[in-house]
Amino acid sequence: MSDAYEALTAKLAAADPEIERLIEAEGRRESEKIRLIASENYVSQAVMEATGSILTNKYSEGYAGKRYYEGQQFIDPVEQLAIDRAKALFGAEHANVQPYSGSPANLAVYMAFLNPGDKVLGMGLPAGGHLTHGSKVSATGKWFDAVAYGVRRDTGRIDLDEVAEIARRERPKLIICGGTAIPRTVDFAGFAAIAEEVGAVLMADIAHIAGLVAGGAHPTPVGHADVVTTTTHKTLRGPRGAMILTTEEHAKAIDKAVFPGLQGGPHNHTTAAIAVALREAATEAFKEYAAQIVKNAKALAAGLTARGFDLVSGGTDNHLILADLTSKDIGGKPAAKALDAAGIELNFNSVPFDTRKPFDPSGLRIGTSSVTTRGMTEGDMDLIAGWIDRAVAAAKDGKDAELESIAGEIREHTKAFPIPGWQA
């Protein structure tokens, strides 16, 4: 491990060796595995240090200049830096950097614009939407009248004509675009036209693609959507937090919804880490990184397709690949478990029109953000496609020794790609 890591955990090792050993084991696991979970990444050492800083000691209910606790002389500038950097990076008029995570950020939008029982139109969970887009198992589906749009069976893509038809019929007050398993470019302008026609507020959830938007590798929703929500990890490569971007017209409603509507004091250490991540995301190096994420995803998709995998929509435009394993005669869950044993971390996932249950679905969700952060490029993606193919075949045939063999090959391969904050 690195000297920086040892220095960071020296006190922890003495105070709580059990927790320190588990953290060390996680660091080794993250270093030795190929991590393809689309919602995960590696933060920089700087982001890690801000997250673990003394700012965690301070309570700061309210907003900069309008706090309910004294002693904010240095907290206010930290939050203002995060706000200013978010506005500059995304070209937004207003930014709220206090939401604890993506789901509370989305709930704040509901609170700002809707009353319980109001109608919401979002992408259905089986088609690639998020729980907070109106799923019946979520508060958003229990407290609001949620209707859903999906994707075409023949293309696996959103049909905006269908979305418009549903919107005209249902007249929702809020339309949501974006999701958690969408491998194709989101047409924000098209959604905006529909929302304007029916008089709905448009929310763009870019939690997965925020880093691609910031780096110019995906079109921006700013200027099209009334409000934009995002987590700050995933492709943006920041800490586990969230932001809401909006126009000045809606700034007050959003801020009141976050605090005091849904939350108490912000997590100042996270706010600082968000500010650091946003500064990193404004660099030319980050633009190159965002472009490489997409190149890697396309290369991995091509490698999987060449090996007989069926990909939803036939490929990807961003960081995310959704594979349907029906033709491989194995479920997504056993395949994901076998891949984990083989040193490849991803998640089982429903695919559109899935005939299997959500906890035992047909698909795998794959993302290239983490491996790109490590410095892997297109050639590595073909190797990964080969390992995935071998592991899925081994899982089907019950060949545990083959999984162990693949894991050994991956441990050797990953030695050339150290992760931030850790060096085995």
To the query of whether residue 59 is one of the catalytic residues in this protein, the response is yes
CA distance 244 to 238: 15
* 144 and 134 Cβ atoms separated by less than 8 Å: yes
Q: Is 224 annotated as a binding residue?
A: no
Dihedral sign, CA of 65, 70, 73, 77?
negative
CB neighbour list of residue 161: distance below 8 Å, 6 or more residues apart: none
Looking at 58, 240, 337, 411, which residue is catalytic? 240
**Helices and strands (DSSP H and E) totals, the chain:** 16, 15
- CB neighbour list of residue 354: distance below 8 Å, 6 or more residues apart: 126, 361, 362, 363
Residues in the chain: 424
Contact in structure between 424 and 31 (CB atoms under 8 Å)? yes
Residue 295 bears catalytic tag: no
Annotated active-site residue in 234, 328, 365, 374: 234
- 205 flagged as catalytic: yes
Q: Distance from first CA to last CA of the chain, Å, rounded?
A: 4
Residue of 20, 49, 61, 76 marked catalytic: 61
The reply to whether 125 sits in an annotated binding site is yes
β-partners of residue 121 are 147, 175
- Catalytic position from the list 132, 180, 220, 231: 231
Q: Given the structure tokens 């081994």, which residue do they identify? A: 394
**Annotation marks residue 400 as catalytic:** no
Q: Where are the alpha helices (DSSP H) in 74-226?
A: 75-90, 102-113, 139-143, 160-170, 188-198, 210-214
Does 197 show up as a binding residue in the annotation? no
28 part of the active site: no
Catalytic residue at 231? Answer: yes
Distance, in Å, from the CA atom of 63 to the CA atom of 81, rounded to the nearest integer, reads 13
> Catalytic one among 9, 20, 58, 59?
59
* Amino acid found at 390: R
Q: Which position among 205, 255, 317, 380 bears the catalytic label?
A: 205
User: CA nearest 299: which of 383, 210, 370, 186?
Assistant: 383
Binding residues, as ranges, are 125, 129-131, 248
Residues contributing to the annotated binding site for (6S)-5,6,7,8-tetrahydrofolate: 125, 129-131, 248
Residues noted as catalytic: 59, 61, 205, 231, 234, 240
